[in-house]
Amino acid sequence: MIRLLFFVALVLALGFGFAWLADRPGDLFIVWQDRRIEMSLMTAVTVIASLIAAIMISWWLVRTIIQSPRAVSRYFRASKRDRGYQALSTGLLAAGAGDAAMARKMNKRTKGLLSADQEPLIHLLDVQAALIEGRHEEARKLFEDMSKDPETRLLGLRGLYLEAQRQGADEAAQHYAETAAEQAPQLPWAASAALSYRTREGKWNEALSLLDKQRLAGTVDAKAADRTKAVLLTARARDHTDIDPSVARDDALAALKLAPAFSPAVLVATKALLRQDNLRKAAKILEAAWKTSPHPDIAEAYVRARIGDTTADRLKRAERLEKLKPLHPQSLDAVARAALEAHRYDLAREKAEASARMQPCEGIYLLLADIEEAETGDQGRVRHWLSQAVRAPRDPAWTADGYVSETWEPVSPVTGKLDAFEWKVPVEQLSGPSLDNQAPEQDFNRAIASLPPIRPQPSPAPAPAAVPMAPAPRPAAAAPVEKAQDVAQTPPAAVPQTAPKMEPKVEPKPVEKVHSESRPADSKPADDTLEQSGPAETRPSEPKPVDVKPAARKDDAVVQRVLVASNTVKAPEAGSDRGTEEQMAHQPAETPDKAKTVKAPEPVDAEAEARAKEAAFLTHRPDDPGIDIDAEPDKPGRFRLF
């Protein structure tokens, strides 16, 4: 474009010049060797311009003829090079597409048209063709040759690094990454790999120097570099906390300048300052971090910062945190835990319930269960809060790549990634039961509404040996008068001894009367303890011990059901007085004649009597709230927890 404009300007200048001369005519006289040549000025100028053009054209023709062989050679060479680059481009595209046959064909054509010394991409096409065909050993040798050439050194190192990773040779991969990072820290893959290897081995100083090189090269963002440097400084400070607290303090404070309120750096700085007996500065750091981002570890460190404090002092420090960050679940949780240690159960319950209304989680319900256990000891209410904890969301924790850790770590133990741990709720593989999809306050109000009332705990049952044995058997509550008389006439030795009525127990299976109205005369009795060997009036009385094992097994099953069921109601136990009264109330009354046909209770041997005592005086289990004998009986067929 510039040449065209120059040519147009030149033509315009010549035309303007000739027009100017035409407007001002004149004569030109030339005297040369006694000869006089006379012509007009316009003619002289035209002759001169034509002579110059002829000279230039003649020179161009002569030069073209002289340089024609070289031009022809250059033309064919350029054509060959163009065809070679075309073949190289086609081969690389085929290698990228996975066409091994086309890549190998274009590779051979490229080598015939181009020289490998002139074009390094030929080595890359060779390597790609070898990798596609599975010739990894040949590809590794080609990468080694490329790493020796200054022009292709970085490409060869990257190829060797990838091959070492493919074969699982971590040491070789680390060596190639470190070499590439030293020669070219601006390479993202080399710097990232080298930084990962150094942090995995705990080489924090080398990692910091490499990070500074990356920052100078401009390959990382300034904000990301500050965060990474803060993590590295915190990791180095944590390693020096026990060895050199001053170095750990400086590194942790430098990390806090780069990443304010970074809780691991706050804890490390606090620990280093406390080792130097600088409680005031440690408290200021914890308070500043608490205002920005409340964390349970910060609360724990602040409450227990001073050794030798009483529980009341710890409660005051927890209340100080609540003033700094009011109406926050973590503040309420910290006060509730400190109040529980100080035996301020009313305050602990108030703060815990407020925290549960704002953010229900597993930990706050467990805390409510601890408060209930410490204050009332009501196992039913404790189990209620434990069931709410099972259904509530999990507490936040330090998680990285699916791994949950109790403490913060700078590197993920799964992938080796730096700064992978995050404070969040762990991800569950299977979604378990959860609370209703309502607001947190509505969830907690529902839990409070379903909370059972506080019931007084029964007095502990006396030992079996200390209970006086009754001289006569205790008659059933709703039995007919005739049955009670028959039992009273039985000798005391033949009647099983029972415990007083008010003690919670499981009695042996009572002997029931056989009603002739309820079954045919020729049918077999339902009770195995009664066997008819003849007429009712002449049937002999054979001694047979009373078997109490079925009743004991039934009681165990009921106890296990009570321990497992958390939202059901408990029915009267087998063998209890109220259950017996309800059962006997529905039985038809018997006549005196029919009562005589019932076999009298048989004597019990010593071993059976011991088993009966054990079953009768079954004590409460540690987590069983017991039975309220004064409560009204519930409907049959249901279980009552409290």
Residue 261 has pLDDT above 50, yes or no: yes
Q: What is the pLDDT of residue 72?
A: 87
Q: What is the pLDDT of residue 253?
A: 95
**Higher pLDDT pick, 605 / 48:** 48
Distance CA 533, CA 597 (A): 12
Q: What is the pLDDT of residue 456?
A: 56
Residue 273 has pLDDT above 50, yes or no: yes
Helix and strand totals (H; E) in the chain: 25, 7
What average pLDDT does the segment 209-235 reach? 91
353-368 pLDDT, tens digit per residue, is 999 999 999 999 999 9
Q: What is the DSSP string of 341-374?
A: HTT-HHHHHHHHHHHHHHS--HHHHHHHHHHHHH
Q: What is the pLDDT of residue 454?
A: 66
**Higher pLDDT pick, 47 / 457:** 47
Q: Name residue, tokens 């930990």.
A: 363
What average pLDDT does the segment 375-392 reach? 92
Residue 189 has pLDDT above 60, yes or no: yes
Q: List the single range of 74-83, 161-170, 334-343, 605-614 with lowest mean pLDDT.
A: 605-614
Q: What is the mean pLDDT of the chain?
A: 75
Spans of all domains in the chain: 2-97, 396-427, 483-512+542-586+594-642
Q: What is the pLDDT of residue 177?
A: 92
φ, ψ at 112 (rounded to 5°)? -75, -25
Confidence of residue 457 (pLDDT cuts 50, 70, 90): low
Confidence of residue 458 (pLDDT cuts 50, 70, 90): low
Q: List the single range of 60-64, 191-195, 591-595 with lowest mean pLDDT.
A: 591-595
Residue 455 has pLDDT above 70, yes or no: no
Q: What is the DSSP string of 285-352?
A: HHHHHHHHS--HHHHHHHHT-STT--HHHHHHHHHHHHHHSTT-HHHHHHHHHHHHHTT-HHHHHHHH
Q: What is the pLDDT of residue 207?
A: 93
89-105 pLDDT, tens digit per residue, is 898 888 888 888 898 88
Q: What is the DSSP string of 20-80?
A: HHHHS--EEEEE-SS-EEEEEHHHHHHHHHHHHHHHHHHHHHHHHHHHHHHHHHHHHHHHH
What average pLDDT does the segment 393-422 reach? 92
Residue 279 has pLDDT above 80, yes or no: yes
What average pLDDT does the segment 20-41 reach? 80
Confidence of residue 198 (pLDDT cuts 50, 70, 90): very high
Q: Cβ contacts of residue 586 below 8 Å, gap of 6+?
A: none
Q: Name residue, tokens 């147009």.
A: 8
**Strand intervals (E) in 377-508:** 397-400, 403-405, 422-424
Q: What is the percent of the chain with per-residue pLDDT over 70, rounded to a whole number?
A: 68
299-354 pLDDT, tens digit per residue, is 999 999 998 899 999 999 999 999 999 999 999 999 999 999 999 999 999 999 99
